[in-house]
Amino acid sequence: MELAWWHWMVLGLGLGLLELVVPSFFIIWFGLGALLVGIAMLAAPGIAFSTQIVLWTLASVAMTVFWFRVFRKDGGKTRSGQANEVLGEIGVLVRAVEPLGVESGRGEVRFQKPVMGSDVWPCLADEAIAAGERVRVLAVDGQLLKVGKY
């Protein structure tokens, strides 16, 4: 089987378009690998088919590994789930909160933008705070936020 440089270019563009349809951000690296082989074929015509396949495979795998190891150092984690980033956020109480010693003292705080995946969170406080007051997040304890007056 004999492939010309433009076959690889068409394959690369086709895989790039497929990435637009199937947004996996994985297919694009194989498309770029095919474009690289097409450029190599332009620079050095007559590369054997088996060498083309090996070059395409190596380039695609190398770009994929490079992307996930170097550019994606966060490991795919979302920042919305990290509790330490909530500390200091300002919200408004939608349900009054009583001091910690009171049995039904839990309140609810609403944030302007979602924090840790939600815009409303149950909360506790060391002092009584009325609904409608602005509060600051002091600590995160499991599913509860500890708040204080802002």
Q: Which range marks the domain in which residue 64 is found?
A: 5-71
**Claim to verify: residue 116 and residue 136 sit in the same structural domain:** yes
Shared domain check, 85 and 124: yes
Under-70 pLDDT residues of the chain: 72-82, 100-104
* Chosen domain end from 26, 53, 71: 71
49 and 96 fall within a common domain: no
For residue 16 the two structure tokens come to 């790039």
Whole-prediction pTM: 0.50
pLDDT one-digit tens code per residue, 49-89: 999 999 999 999 999 998 888 776 655 444 455 677 788 99
- Quote the mean pLDDT of the chain: 87
Q: How many residues would you count in the chain?
A: 150
**At how many degrees (to 10) do helices 27-43 and 5-21 cross?**
160
17 Cβ contact list (under 8 Å, min separation 6):
none
- Provide the H-helix boundaries in 22-120: 27-43, 49-66
Strands (E), 38-143: 90-95, 107-115, 118-125, 134-141
Domain identity same for 87 and 138: yes
- Position 98 scores a pLDDT of 87
Q: How many domains does the chain have?
A: 2
Q: Please indicate, yes or no, whether residues 65 and 30 belong to a single structural domain of this protein.
A: yes
Statement to judge: residues 15 and 57 lie in one domain: yes
Q: What is the pLDDT of residue 101?
A: 62
